[in-house]
Amino acid sequence: MRQVRRWAIGGVTTAAAGVFMAAAAWACVSGPVVNLSTINAKAGQEVGITGTGFQAANQVQIRWNALDGPVLTTVPAPITGGTLDAKFTVPAGTKAGSYVVIVNQTKADGSLSLSPIRAVMNVTGDAGSNPVLGAPAASTDTAARANGLARSDDSISFGTLALVALGVGGVGMFLAGMAALFAGRRGTSPAAAKARS
Amino acid sequence: MLKHRYGRRLALVGVGLVALAQGVAGAAPNKSPLGPPTQPIQATKGDEDPLRTYSGPFMAVDPSNSNNIVASTADFRSRKCLLLRSGDGGSTWKNLDAVPANASYPSCISNNSNVFQGPLAFGRNSTLYYGLAGWDIQDRAVGSGGNVNILVARSTDLGETWQTAIVRNVRGNEGEKVENNRPVGQIAVDSKSGKDDIVYISWQYSTPFVTAPNANPTRAVVATSVDGGRTFGDPVDIADPAWQNPANRQKAMQSYTATTLAPGVTTTTIARPEGSRVAQPDQAANFGGRNPAITVDNKGHAYALWFNTGANLAPAVLTGEFVSVTSDNGKTWQAYQAGPYGPYTNGIGRIAWSPGGGPQGTVHIVSQVNTTVTPQNTSGIASSATIAHKMSTDGGKTWSEPKILPDFDAKDMFVGVIPMISVAPNGRVDVAWWDTRSDPGIRGNDVYYTYSNDDGKTWSKNTRVTDRTIDRKYGVWGNNFDMSSPVGIASTNAYAVFGWDDTRNTDTSLAANSGFGGGTTDIYTSAVQFEVFGAGTSSAVKVALAAVVGVLVVGLILLGVSVSSKRRTGGTTEKTKVTSGKEPAKVK
């Protein structure tokens, strides 16, 4: 089993290195990345947070559960090398449940300079509430979804085909009827002339 | 009198039948989905390799049979482009053995960031076209991304076999001639104008060894085939017409100072050796284009979206949106500016055409823009993107103001990226993109979708297509290897089908999978359905058969009337009756 894992690790690393070496420096829109030292913690517990890709010139703010939630900690500028390494404490009294840690970067005037980064934090203990942002932590859609496309017996139903046939038949009969009518009139009008004489 | 009665009755029955048929058949098509998106299907099922990594697909539906859906993908293990096919409307999928690449150009993956691998399009007689990059080790050996070639494969049997044309062959180029033709942007097929399919393929290229002070900008090009993809003409620079105009160059060069810069954007000063392109920035050779996408209308025009680039310019020009139009099968192009220069244009977009909205139809652009273009948010926050739609009803000459399609609350600053657009035969415009609104903080994203039934004037409420948020800590997306694939989308009147790369089957207990770029990436598909969908053979054949049945019925009725008439008249023929009708003339 260990060998399989080694091979797997080796394979992934090799593939990764190949792709990475071939990669050109195009812009990425994903922004910074953050990682929590643990995603399960109790209220009052200290949690480490690290991240990369931040703007060096602006301070980082870590907020609890909302874009304008309580500030857990602030890391002043400069953010050397764009790398974040900080700690925060889960607010005392927080009920158990899933929460979101929001990492913002702000300019000197307090305005945001970066799209906020989100990270899930599960507070353990008694039953708690779900995150206020986005979907629940499981993030699964509960809508009733059909298994495949709804189908008729055929791409054109029998009724439609019958209607087409009726339509064509109807046109034909109409034309035939009109032809018969026209022919009949041509045949009978001289008879009327005869009656007048 | 007898003949009159028959004639009137026949005519009345005929009128009644026609009215009945028309009344039912003329019912309007469904304008809204029948229900939520279908349960996602694992299109790559059967591949049990825990290291499997597929790029997000391009998709297309066979215009003669909506059961046949095809999806292109790049297998990152083998670097090959593949084709997946469903013959049952997406319920099951098959990974086909045949590969579209020419044997001597086996690798197709190009990287990185928002890369489109293997665009697809159908032409007449269900001919499938597959655009891809092609290269081998020898091509990469020349360095700096190497010589990357462009191929177009055509299949007349839905991907069972391929005939592949080399559209741009730069194998063997060295030094300043090394040409990095990637990524392939889009493929579009005009199956109405010519004797054979007219096939357009767009891509961008760079020359990595041509450097400052005489560097080349990235170029946006289109090559065209007028013989159904068998041969292609030389690529044409679709941006060049814009830059031959000195006024356009001046406007671009002034853009940098004319616009408020995004936070963090800085200016640079470079040396200007005499006689170099840097010393004379105002020349067409210093301006180019990138990320070209292409579409066609039903009157023989092709429309190519591109974003401007520059080289040897200090300060660099800001990004604007352009559309080039051709009316002569790609020989010449006319360029129009579709969006202003600004720091918030991300340079990623797609283009499509719908037949309604005006005499020339409507050209649509969906592009990724910084949220600062939205009315709700002008804060200038970096790395926050959303999706904007623009349209033109005068053949690309003028464009509407952008309309933001994601309907999340702007203050929450969720992200929408990499839009894709497709138009159904009935004119419904479908747009899908990657969206973070459902991400609870796992660094994930979802596919979201909106549609328009009025040629882009109004858009539906957004629909979440994915059933669970895709965890991007696994796989090669974004911050891993920046291989961010767009959502695949294709449209029929009955449904819009979507495909995406999905890490849900990653075994998180495997240590290897938590490594950088580790994990499993499959392709999943789902559909939003608008009409009940059939399972049978060609609709046209069935309608023709029904018509034949109708004609037979008419024939039988007329035969019956004729026989009945003969009996009543004692066997007198119609010709005799006509002759007798002339008898009064003899009396006269």
The closest of B126, B163, B335, B314 to B237, measured between CA atoms, is B335
Mean pLDDT of chain B: 86
Q: Cis peptide before B112, with omega less than 30 degrees from 0?
A: yes
Average pLDDT for residues A187-193, to the nearest whole number?
A: 51
Q: How far is Cα B486 from Cα B293, in angstroms, rounded to an integer?
A: 13
Q: How far is Cα B252 from Cα B319, in angstroms, rounded to an integer?
A: 9
**Residue A181, pLDDT score:** 75
- What count of Cα atoms within 13 Å lies in the side-chain half-sphere of residue B314? 14
Q: With contacts defined as CB-CB under 8 Å, which chain A residues touch B481?
A: 16, 19-20, 23
CATH number for the domain that contains residue A119: 2.60.40.2550
**Hunting for tokens 């005009």 — which residue is that?**
B190
Q: Percent of chain B, pLDDT > 70?
A: 83
**Res. B234 pLDDT band, cuts 50 70 90:** very high
**Residue B377, pLDDT score:** 43
Q: With contacts defined as CB-CB under 8 Å, which chain B residues touch A101?
A: 441
Residue B124, phi then psi, degrees to nearest 5: -70, 155
User: Does A1 map to a domain?
Assistant: no
Q: Of B229-233, B316-320, B560-564, which range is least confident?
A: B560-564
Q: With contacts defined as CB-CB under 8 Å, which chain B residues touch A13?
A: 515
- A23, pLDDT greater than 80: no
**Number of structural domains, chain A?**
1
Strands B219-225 and B345-354, sheet pairing: unpaired
Average pLDDT for residues A91-103, to the nearest whole number?
A: 84
User: Does A81 map to a domain?
Assistant: yes
Q: With contacts defined as CB-CB under 8 Å, which chain B residues touch A114?
A: 381-384
User: Does A182 map to a domain?
Assistant: no
- What count of Cα atoms within 13 Å lies in the side-chain half-sphere of residue A20? 11
Chain A, nearest residue to B16 by Cα: A170
**Whether the Cβ atoms of residue A49 and residue A37 lie closer than 8 Å to each other:** yes
Whether B569 has its CB under 8 Å from any CB of chain A: the answer is no
Q: For residue B535, count other CB atoms closer than 10 A to its CB.
A: 14
Distances (CA, A) of B465 to B91, B154, B392, B562: 16, 31, 28, 61
**Res. B481 pLDDT band, cuts 50 70 90:** low
Distances (CA, A) of B326 to B202, B226, B320, B336: 13, 14, 20, 12
Q: Of B136-145, B149-158, B337-346, B529-538, which range is least confident?
A: B529-538
Chain A, nearest residue to B465 by Cα: A141
B243 vs B50, more confident: B243
pLDDT digits 0-9 by tens, A103-152: 888 888 777 787 788 887 888 875 444 333 333 444 677 678 999 999 87
Distances (CA, A) of B112 to A26, B51, B116, B488: 7, 19, 9, 17
User: Does A196 map to a domain?
Assistant: no
Whether B68 has its CB under 8 Å from any CB of chain A: the answer is no
**Res. B205 pLDDT band, cuts 50 70 90:** very high
**Whether the Cβ atoms of residue B349 and residue B363 lie closer than 8 Å to each other:** no
Neighbouring-strand partners of residue B164: B153
* Pure H helices in chain A: 2-22, 158-196
**Residue B385, pLDDT score:** 84
The closest of B490, B492, B429 to B58, measured between CA atoms, is B490
Average pLDDT for residues A63-75, to the nearest whole number?
A: 87
Residue spans of beta strands (DSSP E) within B327-440: 334-342, 345-354, 362-370, 385-392, 403-404, 416-423, 429-435
Whether B521 has its CB under 8 Å from any CB of chain A: the answer is no
pLDDT digits 0-9 by tens, B1-41: 445 555 566 556 555 555 555 444 444 456 899 999 999 99
Query: Tokens at residue B64, please?
Result: 């003669």
B557 vs A188, more confident: B557
Average pLDDT for residues B240-247, to the nearest whole number?
A: 97
First to last CA, chain B: 24
Across the interface, whether the CB atoms of A107 and B263 are under 8 A apart is answered yes
Expressed as residue numbers, the domain containing A60 is 30-123
User: Does A183 map to a domain?
Assistant: no
How do the domains of chain B map onto residue ranges? 547-574
Whether A127 has its CB under 8 Å from any CB of chain B: the answer is no
**Whether the Cβ atoms of residue A166 and residue B548 lie closer than 8 Å to each other:** no
Q: With contacts defined as CB-CB under 8 Å, which chain B residues touch A68?
A: none
Buried b (16+ CB within 10 A) or exposed e, B75-92: bbeebbbbbbbbeebbbe
Distance from CA of B580 to the nearest CA of A (A): 8
Rounded to two decimals, the pTM is: 0.76
**Residue B464, pLDDT score:** 96
What was the ipTM of the complex prediction? 0.79
Distance from CA of A67 to the nearest CA of B (A): 7
Cα Rg for chain A, rounded, in angstroms?
37
Residue partners of A181: CB distance under 8 A and separation at least 6: B3, B4, B7, B8, B11
Q: How far is Cα B188 from Cα B200, in angstroms, rounded to an integer?
A: 5
